[in-house]
Chains A and B, each alone.
Chain A
């Protein structure tokens, strides 16, 4: 890759298909990507000022959207499919008055770097050997245990224990694969 910023470190043999993957990364954020990782086209990193994303070795990310304002940790040998979105923050308040203020602040031509008030943020941890199917959504504060499989289209809002199989919306957790 050409023109890599200082805050992005990339390991050996890591393949990044699309130039536009890192266009929405703020300067003070921190991204570390391990060895032999494959990041295919359509993948997008949206990382705020305090955001931090780390990806382990031998993982594959195909067309996912990672939005971070706190911390997203992805382990080794993780497979993430197309149109998955992972976010570690709600980004906006439940209070409509604060949201109205934010709307004015975010609108052009003002600066987009502002302090967000009254939001819920929590770390997202995806442990080793996890598989995440297409169209999944993973929300803030979730820990997905080692070896779990999240079937396509699942919306994950709660912690998932080791080696489980998750399916459906709302998500249902099973001990082993159903089909």
Chain B
């Protein structure tokens, strides 16, 4: 008989390995993950080189399916509660803040620069970190959109599929196109 096992919490064992993971690496010590949050594999942190006290904080009840979280030595990422991501690539050597209830579609890239690659040699650690990307609460990001350095997306905004955002987006707005533009709204 097949047994379907449902795990209530993301199951990390004592050495911070994800149970039943194909990639045999522990999740790094300076990664804080909230209750009932899922990161499906530790491969996410294969190119993670943050030397900060807390490099990545993820809130509770998030689902982050097959991500790649790549940081240089200064990188810092904060993700709120109840967020859903599918195969995102998050790449930073600065600071990225994502609010609560973000819905992020397949293959979205959130990165300091458009020419992102896994971090190469970098040993410099800066004390205070500049915020490169800020994403507000209740933001919906469409498939294969690019959120690049300088983006500041207000609450309740929608980013269309394939749009490129590297500018300030006010609250409740819709962004589409490459290069991205804010749609005028009739209300």
Contacts and interface: CB of A to CB of B under 8 A. Distances in A.
The DSSP consensus for interface residues of chain A is loop
Interface of A: 38, 40-41, 60, 62-63, 79, 81-83, 131-135, 149, 151-154, 167-169, 179
Interface residues of B, number: 20
B179 interface: yes
B107 A83 contact: yes
21 contacts: A41-B46, A60-B120, A62-B116, A62-B117, A62-B118, A81-B114, A81-B116, A82-B89, A82-B109, A82-B116, A83-B107, A132-B115, A133-B116, A134-B111, A134-B114, A152-B109, A152-B146, A154-B178, A168-B178, A168-B179, A179-B166
Contacts of B120: 60
B148 interface: yes
Nearest to B87: A42
A167 to B, nearest CB: 6
Given A40-B118, A79-B115, A79-B117, A135 B89 contact: no
Tell me which of B47, B115, B120, B164 has the highest count of chain A C-beta atoms within 10 A of its own C-beta: B115
A133 B178 CA distance: 13
Contacts of A81: 114-117
Contacts of B109: 82-83, 134-135, 152
Interface in B130-164: 144, 146, 148, 162, 164
Nearest to B148: A152
Contacts of A41: 46
The 3 closest A-B pairs by CB, nearest first: A152-B114, A133-B114, A62-B117
A16 to B, nearest CB: 13
A167 B179 contact: yes
Contacts of A167: 179
